[in-house]
Structure 1
Amino acid sequence: MMVTAFSPRPEPYEVARVTSTAAELLEVLWGRATTAPVSASQLRVLLVLEHERGINLRTLADLLASTPPSTSRLCDRLQAAGFVERAESPADRREVRLHLSSRGRAFLVDLRARRERTLQAVLEQMPAAKRAALREGLEAFCDAVDAQIRDDVRPSGSGSRTA
């Protein structure tokens, strides 16, 4: 598959197109390795819980662009499988906080190891200088995505979400 060549100072739309293609190719590559026993939606929950420890259900639903009842059902299944734990909030006993269990963390470690082995085989085919440039660009990309996600869930005029 040929990816479009860039001008020396590529426009964001050009980079977005190539990034989208790369994401689709990663989906195909990673689709070869199973994420069982969790679905793609459940995997998203685990990934959010890993980064947002002690998040409440409403905030998790907002991050997933889902409804609280749907998100609750996802968490019910993950809790039944031993991947998620629920705990009362110390500030409000009516609020439930969600956490990855040790089994959930171990699952993500194993999944990442399998994915990284798959990626390593591809990256070994690239020249070292291109790999270094890719790493630098992806680190900046990850920082920008993280900031965007955090800004999207923060209500206007507030420093954090407490709902």
Structure 2
Amino acid sequence: MAAFRARPPSDEAPRVTADAAELLEVLSGRAPTTPASQVRVLLVLEQHDGINLRTLADSLGTTPPSASRLCDRLETTGFLERRPGAADRREVRLRLSGSGRSFLADLRARGEGEVRAVLAAMPSAKREALLEGLETFCAAAAPRILAHDAGPGAVLSPRPGTPEDPDTRGGRTA
């Protein structure tokens, strides 16, 4: 007889979600030769190509000297390029090199393969339930993320088709 495993209480959901997020980070972020701090720099540069060192340091929550040392290492590996700014040649702009972009693409492909392998080991019904749960989670989190990105005091309308949308009936647009 199969062992009965009770569903965790709803107050356990944050812990289980955090555990799952950590596992996904480990599976998708495996970069055996590149430290996580350097991968983080590459990800920031991918989103904000051409930023300066101070902006990078602020994005990483570190000091400009620490960010500069990370950039030194990434420049040595050929993943990052430093270029003088167009308006002020004393200001240095940071850009991903072609090698840096290729590295991130490879890292994502390997991570996706790892996640696919885990999902393949799950029963189909559980994969569907996971997808539905993740879609619902993302829809519920989106307004919080948008409010955070918009800054303090921002008032945002709910996304159409979400339960918070007054024109929504049962998760569908009226």
TM-score by length of 2: 0.69
Supply the distance in 2 between the matched residues of 1:3 and 1:48 (Cα, whole angstroms): 38
Aligned length: 144
Describe the shift of the 1:144–1:56 C-alpha distance in structure 2 as closer, same or farther (beyond 3 A).
farther
Q: How far off is 1:150 after superposition?
A: 7.5
Q: How far off is 1:134 after superposition?
A: 1.5
* Amino acid in the other structure paired with 2:127: P
Counterpart for residue 133 of structure 2: 133
2:19 to 1, 7, 21: 21
Describe the shift of the 1:42–1:145 C-alpha distance in structure 2 as closer, same or farther (beyond 3 A).
farther
Q: For structure 1, list consecutive stretches of 5 or more residues without a partner in the other structure.
A: 7-12, 153-163
1:121 aligns with 2:117: yes
Describe the shift of the 1:150–1:117 C-alpha distance in structure 2 as closer, same or farther (beyond 3 A).
farther
Ranked by relative contact order (alpha carbons within 8 Å, sequence separation 6 or more), the top structure is 1
Supply the distance in 2 between the matched residues of 1:59 and 1:119 (Cα, whole angstroms): 32
Supply the distance in 2 between the matched residues of 1:150 and 1:87 (Cα, whole angstroms): 30
* Amino acid in the other structure paired with 1:18: V
Q: Are the aligned partners of 1:75 and 1:84 in contact in 2 as well (CA < 8 Å)?
A: yes
Q: For structure 2, list consecutive stretches of 5 or more residues without a partner in the other structure.
A: 153-174
Supply the distance in 1 between the matched residues of 2:71 and 2:7 (Cα, whole angstroms): 39
Supply the distance in 1 between the matched residues of 2:135 and 2:72 (Cα, whole angstroms): 37
SS at 2:116 equivalent: helix
Supply the distance in 2 between the matched residues of 1:150 and 1:97 (Cα, whole angstroms): 25
**RMSD, aligned CA:** 3.0
Describe the shift of the 1:61–1:140 C-alpha distance in structure 2 as closer, same or farther (beyond 3 A).
farther
Counterpart for residue 42 of structure 1: 38
Q: Are the aligned partners of 1:87 and 1:96 in contact in 2 as well (CA < 8 Å)?
A: yes
Supply the distance in 2 between the matched residues of 1:40 and 1:2 (Cα, whole angstroms): 36
* Amino acid in the other structure paired with 1:4: P
2:8 to 1, 4, 26: 4
TM-score by length of 1: 0.73
Q: How far off is 1:44 after superposition?
A: 0.6
Describe the shift of the 1:79–1:118 C-alpha distance in structure 2 as closer, same or farther (beyond 3 A).
same
Q: Determine which structure has more spread, i.e. the larger CA radius of gyration.
A: 2
Q: How far off is 1:2 after superposition?
A: 8.4
Residue by residue over 1:102-148, the C-alpha shift from the partner in whole angstroms, topping out at 9 and shown as x without a partner, is 10000000010110111112223133243243145347647855764
Counterpart for residue 67 of structure 1: 63
SS at 1:113 equivalent: helix
Q: Are the aligned partners of 1:123 and 1:131 in contact in 2 as well (CA < 8 Å)?
A: no
Supply the distance in 2 between the matched residues of 1:43 and 1:21 (Cα, whole angstroms): 21
Aligned sequence identity (%) = 52
